[in-house]
Amino acid sequence: MPLNSIPRVPLWLSASLISALNALVFGLDTGTIGPVTTMSSFRATFGELSPTLHGIVVSSVLLPGAVTALITGVLADRYGRTRIIAIGSLVYGVGAALETASMWLAMFIVGRLVKGVGEGLFLSTVYVHVCEISPAKKRGVMASVAQFLITLGLVMGFFICYGTSHLSGSISWRLPIALQAGIAFLNVAASTLLPQSPRWLQARGRPDEANRIIDKLGLDEAEKVELQSQSTEILPHSPDVPFWQSVRETAHDLKEAFDTPFRGRTLFGCFLLAFQQFSGIDGVLFYAPILLQMAGISSQNASFLASGVSAIVILVVTLPATLLADAWGRKTSTIVGGSLIFLLMLISGSLYAAGSVHADRGAARWVVIVNIYLFAAVFSATWAIGFRAFLIESLPSKTRSSAASLAQSSNWVANFLVALTTPIFIATSTFGAYYFFAFATLLCTGVSAIYMFETKGRTLESIEKRYSEKQALRKQAMSTGRWSLPLRGFRLRATPTRP
């Protein structure tokens, strides 16, 4: 086949894939920290960990991520999406290197804190960058690629630990983390190949550069015209202002995300991403070896292997779910996924509450094990993909980065609470942990059924236009005193009241 007959990969696709690769190490960390901290070689290096200390070690990566996520959006607005992605991966790599070289537990925790800063910088920025350079009809799929790579990192992490657990000495737990550092540094180099977001360039008053990138991205003509006609009255931060002025601007922008026109969307985004974690996904992923051992998988190596199988299940499900992300929509996947997660967690919690789960006998333990696998599969096919795509699509351009950072921060804080308390919870009341995850999921599903709207296939600009129309209708109705509920998504309407 002649070279000129080979279809060229559009820039929006190649750039989105390179950008999403930065999320791989997030999955690697999630997939390795549980197995690593239960390895006998890890205990030989740092001593036996109590449930509380175990939770602190695992969750220590999350709080700095939550704090960093608060300013990531503004930093990305000021310095560009691609630069913040590269800096985040660099910081992550440094933290992973510190973990690898740790001789004391305090040093290991410091390494995790540094990694958290890096994750807070690059993770939400990757989603924003991908959404801003992808065509509207493919945005759901491309935003889901990062989640697929996180899942791939999970699989790699579990099986790397399964392989290195057979090695003697501390190399068995150090090698999986050293690989994270190497991949993070490679991501830094790859990030230099990424084009800036044309929306960011327009906002910076650089329309010529923006138009050159728009021409290269490979979008269809209608979307190119719409994108090239966008206003430049957003992202007003100057890269030349002093650092402390930038900090003040950051606080102002975070506050602006809660101004009247944007408050509802910001709060709903924070709610969704927090309850994404309260469903228990990272409690299961971080502590899968412990949960599976409690359910009857006896040896450490067997629990590592079983954890790897759960990661494979997630990966197998995530691939078609990613490709179909724009087929069945965000709201449908949220309601269907939430309902199934609630039932799975409720069944497992009820079996533990009834005292039916025994590690050495009975069918109930197998029901719990299967439910863990099914939960991971359902979550990955629905909530993991739909929530983040909806978040970015529903936010206005003026507060997209700052509000996305707030939502990501709420996700990290919820993740921290889950990671910190899950080992304590399951050591005292296993059924209580399952019940908490079940009813938190039920609450989120109910709220989403009422307030979520469908954004699939719409351009970001058309979504914002509909929001503006809805807000104008709301103001008109309130000014006349003649308005009625429901205020649901795009179905908000003013209804004349009878005299």
Which domain CATH number covers 106?
1.20.1250.20
pLDDT in tens, 99-126: 999 999 999 999 999 999 999 899 878 9
Helices (H), 197-329: 198-203, 207-217, 221-228, 243-256, 263-278, 281-286, 288-294, 300-323
pLDDT in tens, 169-212: 999 999 999 999 999 999 999 998 899 888 888 877 788 888 88
How many domains in the chain? 1
In this structure, is residue 476 part of a structural domain?
Answer: no
pLDDT of 494 reads 36
Dist. CA 287–CA 226, nearest whole Å: 47
pLDDT of 244 reads 66
DSSP 459: -
On average, the pLDDT of the chain sits at 82
pLDDT above 50: residue 497? no
In this structure, is residue 223 part of a structural domain?
Answer: no
In this structure, is residue 275 part of a structural domain?
Answer: yes
| CA distances (Å), origin 189, targets 64, 97, 182, 185 | 24, 17, 11, 7
Closest CA to 348 of 283, 271, 277, 274: 283
Helical packing angle, 24-38 and 105-133, nearest 10°: 150
In this structure, is residue 316 part of a structural domain?
Answer: yes
Q: Which is higher by pLDDT, 220 or 445?
A: 445
Q: What is the CA radius of gyration of the chain?
A: 23
pLDDT of 474 reads 65
pLDDT above 80: residue 236? no
In this structure, is residue 489 part of a structural domain?
Answer: no
pLDDT of 223 reads 76
The answer, yes or no, to whether the previous bond of 486 is cis (omega within 30 of 0) is yes
pLDDT in tens, 262-316: 888 889 999 999 999 999 888 887 887 778 777 776 656 666 666 677 778 888 8
Query: What is the model's pTM?
Result: 0.73
> Using an 8 Å Cβ cutoff, are 440 and 156 in contact?
no
Share of the chain above pLDDT 70, in %: 86
> Using an 8 Å Cβ cutoff, are 130 and 146 in contact?
yes
Dist. CA 27–CA 315, nearest whole Å: 11
pLDDT in tens, 15-48: 889 999 999 999 999 889 988 998 999 999 999 8
**What number is the average pLDDT over the span 360-372?**
85
Domain that holds residue 413: 11-195+231-451
In this structure, is residue 478 part of a structural domain?
Answer: no
pLDDT above 90: residue 321? no
- Cβ neighbours, 10 Å, residue 289: 24
Tokens representing 426? Answer: 């399951």
Residue 439: which pLDDT band, with cuts at 50, 70 and 90?
very high
In this structure, is residue 494 part of a structural domain?
Answer: no
